[in-house]
């Protein structure tokens, strides 16, 4: 019978294997730490640049607001009121004249679903000085009328589309919608308004 007895004071350990395994793990963790520190520092630097850009934009906005307030104060002087009122009147006439019924009807024709028709349409300037179109449409089903609203929302020619009111038609079980949308017209085609 054979007995294996280790008479050494320190048992044998494979230190090389230990340092290879744990050294590679520590190296990977160290590299990951360096990458994360680099990303954090670059994020701080980027945020600092963003803050500087925001401050410069805020300064420009404040300057423009100041210029606008000065211009409005100048136009509100009693001597300049008639010029301001005339200018506003002429600008509104120009905007109304630039409205093209043909283009509006062409754009509506492209997106109008079957068995939905336009009952009335009325253009006007909204509070943001944009051309808003108020229209009433009627269709044989609610789903078809809502399809028009969805198509208007996805069209580049209409923005901020909303349903103002909805009513059922008693005689043929159809539906009528009052819709408001901002008409972009030529701007959607790349032209100027």
Paired residues of 166 in beta bridges: 177
Mean pLDDT (whole number) for 98-119: 84
> Is 145 within 8 Å of 112 (Cβ atoms)?
no
- pLDDT-based confidence at residue 191 (cuts at 50, 70, 90): very low
**What tokens appear for 22 in the block?**
């744990």
**What tokens appear for 168 in the block?**
């059922």
Co-location of 72 and 105 in the same domain: no
The answer to whether residue 26 scores a pLDDT higher than 70 is yes
120: CATH = 3.30.70.2830
What Rg, from alpha-carbon coordinates, does the chain have?
35
Residue 185 lies in a domain: yes
Q: What is the domain extent for residue 42?
A: 17-76
The answer to whether residue 24 scores a pLDDT higher than 50 is yes
Place of tokens 């408001």: 180
Residue 126 lies in a domain: yes
Co-location of 66 and 27 in the same domain: yes
- The answer, as to whether pTM is greater than 0.75, is no
Residue 7 lies in a domain: no
The answer to whether residue 176 scores a pLDDT higher than 50 is yes
Query: Mean of the per-residue pLDDT values for the chain?
Result: 83
The answer to whether residue 180 scores a pLDDT higher than 70 is yes
Task: Look at residue 167 in the predicted model and tell me its pLDDT.
Answer: 82
The answer to whether residue 159 scores a pLDDT higher than 80 is yes
Task: Look at residue 193 in the predicted model and tell me its pLDDT.
Answer: 40
How many domains are contained in the chain? 2
Element (H, E) at 163: strand 158-168
């Amino acid at each position: 019978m054979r007995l294996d007895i280790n008479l050494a004071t320190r048992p044998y350990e494979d230190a090389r294997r230990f340092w290879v395994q744990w050294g590679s793990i520590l190296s990977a963790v160290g590299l990951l730490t360096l990458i994360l520190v680099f990303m954090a520092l670059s994020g701080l630097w980027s945020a600092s640049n963003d803050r500087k850009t925001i401050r410069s934009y805020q300064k420009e906005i404040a300057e423009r607001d100041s210029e606008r307030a000065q211009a409005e104060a100048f136009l509100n002087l009693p001597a300049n009121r008639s010029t301001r009122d005339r200018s506003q009147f002429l600008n509104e006439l120009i905007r109304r004249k630039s409205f093209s019924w043909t283009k509006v009807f062409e754009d509506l024709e492209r997106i109008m679903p079957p068995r939905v028709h336009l009952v009335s349409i009325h253009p006007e300037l909204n509070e943001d000085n944009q051309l808003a179109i108020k229209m009433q449409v009627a269709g044989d089903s609610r789903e078809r009328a809502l399809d028009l609203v969805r198509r208007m929302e996805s069209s580049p020619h209409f923005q901020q589309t909303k349903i103002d009111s909805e009513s059922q038609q008693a005689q043929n079980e159809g539906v009528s919608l009052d819709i408001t949308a901002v008409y972009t017209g030529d701007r959607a085609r790349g032209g100027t308004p």
